[in-house]
Amino acid sequence: MSGFYQSETWKLISAYIFDKPIFECELFWKKYWGTVKTAKKWPITLAWYQVLWVQFPDIEKKKFHIKEELEKAKRDIKHGMKDIFLQIWVTNRIRVSENTWTNRKEIEKNMLSSCSLKTSFRENMPLATIVIDLEQDLDTLWKQINKSGRRHIRRWVKKELIFKVAEWDEIKEFYDLWNKTSNFKWFNIWPEDEYNRLIKFVKEEKRWDLFLVKKGKDIVSGSIMLYDKEEAYYLYGATNRDLGNLWWHYFLKWEINKYLKEKSFKFIDLLWVAPKGYENHHLWWVSQFKESLWWKRIEYWGNYDLVFNKMLYQTFKILKK
């Protein structure tokens, strides 16, 4: 996996579509880019920084050098008292087993004691994901889908459903459906002006597709996919619940798998599932569906904060919670 969140595609989207200030830094002898986030709390504007997809060195072997590097990053990034912390999404992997939860807690303790990094109080990036390996043959991919998922797909193969890549007139229609789904399930989506700018950019640059399943004139299900070279990333999806919860998303995902495989993509990263051992995780309902499309599960070390200002950090933590 290339590290999509350090790719040129995501950098351009962050800077020119979402209008986020970009900065560059060095962490552990490698160049990274990140975004600056701000919040106006009278009478000052607070700032915090975020670098995504960072590979950590071996803590046991390079503990002293890691501390040196983090102190250097703190000096390079912090510009004043208003700067609160740097959040790092550490993408080293945890071996998936029955002890995954225990191993994660040990890593968190070690990161605090050895590197003075606090486990982030907000999970801004996924602790785990599901990856579908498109280099496998279709029969193997089919067998990885759970039994009920295959039943739903067979059911809709026989019906008059249309799978397609969205055209310009359908992109606005999907946003309305996505907005309705977000209100029903209580999650945030991009504002419509950002969505329209993003679509214009990625459509022209051929860095995305919006895949749809339609029943007659109605969109019944849709998924936004972003591309980076031979890799595809599932960002968001929506299903038309006015027509009933009829499991159209299974059919859509299977058709996407076939389409991207034909286009020589190597894998699909479904992004965002609940980590093992977290029974009350807020993504449990998403995880159930994505795990039913199973190929390979990846557990990341997670999100960690390098604190610049302890007092502001504690205040900010309370406000955000």
Q: Is the pLDDT of residue 187 over 70?
A: no
Is residue 316 in a domain?
yes
| pLDDT, the chain, mean | 88
> What CATH number has the domain bearing residue 153?
3.40.630.30
Whole-number pLDDT of residue 30: 94
Residues 118 and 177 in one domain: no
Residues 212 and 141 in one domain: yes
Q: Is the pLDDT of residue 1 over 60?
A: no
Is residue 274 in a domain?
no
Residues 147 and 259 in one domain: yes
Q: How far apart are CA 175 and CA 191, in angstroms?
A: 10
Q: Are the beta carbons of 154 and 297 closer than 8 angstroms?
A: no
Residues 120 and 140 in one domain: no
Q: Are the beta carbons of 217 and 201 closer than 8 angstroms?
A: no
Is residue 270 in a domain?
no
Residues 241 and 196 in one domain: yes
Q: Are the beta carbons of 35 and 21 closer than 8 angstroms?
A: yes
Q: Are the beta carbons of 35 and 20 closer than 8 angstroms?
A: yes
Q: Is the pLDDT of residue 27 over 90?
A: yes
Mean pLDDT is lowest, of 120-124, 194-198, 273-277, for: 194-198
Mean pLDDT is lowest, of 19-28, 36-45, 91-100, 105-114, for: 36-45
Residues 97 and 164 in one domain: no
> What CATH number has the domain bearing residue 119?
3.40.630
Is residue 256 in a domain?
yes
- The region, left, alpha or beta by phi > 0 then psi within -120 to 50, assigned to residue 147 is alpha
Judge residue 143's burial from the number of C-beta atoms within 10 Å of its C-beta, 0-12 exposed, 13-18 middle, 19 or more buried.
exposed
Mean pLDDT is lowest, of 47-61, 216-230, 240-254, for: 240-254
Q: What is the pLDDT of residues 97-144, one digit of tens each?
A: 889 999 999 999 999 999 999 999 988 899 999 999 999 999 999 998
Is residue 280 in a domain?
no
Residues 140 and 233 in one domain: yes
Beta bridge partners of 89: 303
Is residue 232 in a domain?
yes
Q: Is the pLDDT of residue 94 over 90?
A: yes
Residues 111 and 223 in one domain: no
Is residue 221 in a domain?
yes
Residues 13 and 116 in one domain: yes
Mean pLDDT is lowest, of 65-69, 75-79, 186-190, for: 186-190
Q: Range of 164's domain?
A: 136-265
Is residue 73 in a domain?
yes
> Three-state secondary structure along the chain?
CCCHHHCHHHHHHHHHHCCCCEEEEEECCEEEEEEEEEEEECCEEEEEEEEEEECCCCHHHHHHHHHHHHHHHHHHHCCCCCEEEEEEEEEEEECCCCCHHHHHHHHHHHHHHHHCCEECCCCCCCCEEEEEECCCCHHHHHHHCCHHHHHHHHHHHCCCCEEEECCHHHHHHHHHHHHHHHHHHCCCCCCHHHHHHHHHHHHHHCCEEEEEEEECCEEEEEEEEEEECCEEEEEEEEECHHHCCCCHHHHHHHHHHHHHHHCCCCEEECCCECCCCCCCCCCHHHHHHHHCCCCEEEEEEEEEEEECCHHHHHHHHHHHC
Whole-number pLDDT of residue 245: 58
Could you give the C-alpha distances from 136 to 133, 141, 144, 171, 262, in angstroms and in order?
Answer: 6, 7, 11, 31, 12
Whole-number pLDDT of residue 196: 85
Residues 166 and 70 in one domain: no
Counted domains in the chain: 2
Task: List CB contacts of 89: < 8 A, sequence separation 6 or more.
Answer: 5, 50, 51, 52, 53, 54, 124, 125, 300, 302, 303
Mean pLDDT is lowest, of 12-21, 149-158, 178-187, for: 178-187
Residues 68 and 106 in one domain: yes
Residues 91 and 165 in one domain: no
